[in-house]
């Protein structure tokens, strides 16, 4: 059964493993990656025939060697590229240089909208990595060939996501022929954190 499988959760930009705590409470066997913005980085090995749940930019940190091991992949608010948001990224880069904590507070509010934001950003310990990953959004492109071997792919998207809009998820579903897309009405960029049970209920039905 999918929900009893081995899981690895990969958070997105400006976040840490704490982003997945509501989902991990329902899937306690899940292991968390830490990119290293707020403390030591932790990249846990992905067991063979396991599942990954990747949020936003976290999808792009999944390497080909990881994808070859997977039974399935769940993409939360994902995108193949971030070209529509280039102006937004440049503005965030300027604010990051001035006040990283203020930038993250603003970002977290956008992340959870239209729901209230329940998180306060931890203190940034690696501002250079935060800036590097933000800059990467200007040029990254998803290596589709590395995802081709994954037999099951599910894309979960919030309809009210203004960071990575629904059009991005639809484009991603088009170029991944094995993918199934689920849209959550009124969900924002952090819909899976706001309503983790709804996400798992849908996966239980289709997987």
> Which domains does the chain carry?
2-206 (3.40.50.1820)
Amino acid 61: pLDDT: 94
Are 31 and 8 in contact, with CB atoms under 8 Å apart?
Answer: yes
CA 60, CA 74: separation in Å to the nearest integer?
13
User: For the ranges 4-13, 132-141, 142-151, which has the lowest average pLDDT?
Assistant: 142-151
Burial status of residue 191 (CB atoms within 10 A of its CB: 0-12, 13-18, 19 or more): buried
Q: Band of the pLDDT at 101, cuts 50, 70, 90?
A: very high
Q: Band of the pLDDT at 44, cuts 50, 70, 90?
A: confident
pTM of the predicted structure, to 2 decimals = 0.96
Q: Band of the pLDDT at 26, cuts 50, 70, 90?
A: very high
Going by their DSSP bridges, the two strands 7-10 and 31-32 should be labelled as parallel
- The tens digit of pLDDT for each residue in 137-194 reads 999 888 888 898 899 999 999 999 999 999 999 999 999 999 999 999 989 999 999 9
CA 3, CA 202: separation in Å to the nearest integer?
11
Amino acid 182: pLDDT: 96
The contacts of residue 51 (CB under 8 Å, 6+ apart) are 2, 5, 6, 7, 8, 70, 71, 72, 73, 74
């Amino acid at each position: 059964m999918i929900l009893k499988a081995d899981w690895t959760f990969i958070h997105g930009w400006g976040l840490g493993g704490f982003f997945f705590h509501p989902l991990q409470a329902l899937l306690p066997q899940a292991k968390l990656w830490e990119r290293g913005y707020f403390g030591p980085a932790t990249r846990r090995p992905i067991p063979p025939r396991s599942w990954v749940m990747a949020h936003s930019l976290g999808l792009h940190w999944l390497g080909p060697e990881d994808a070859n091991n997977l039974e399935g992949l769940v993409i939360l608010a994902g995108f193949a590229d971030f070209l529509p948001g280039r102006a937004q990224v440049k503005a965030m880069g300027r604010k990051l240089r001035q006040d990283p904590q203020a930038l993250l507070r603003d970002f977290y509010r956008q992340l959870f909208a239209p729901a209230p934001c329940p998180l306060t950003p931890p203190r940034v310990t690696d501002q250079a990595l935060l800036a590097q990953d933000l800059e990467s959004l200007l040029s990254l492109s998803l290596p589709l060939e590395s995802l081709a071997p994954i037999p099951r792919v599910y894309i979960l998207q919030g309809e009210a996501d203004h960071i990575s809009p629904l059009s991005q998820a639809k484009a991603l579903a088009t170029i991944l022929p094995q993918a199934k897309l689920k849209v959550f009405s009124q969900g924002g960029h952090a819909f899976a954190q706001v309503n983790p049970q709804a996400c798992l209920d849908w996966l239980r039905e289709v997987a």
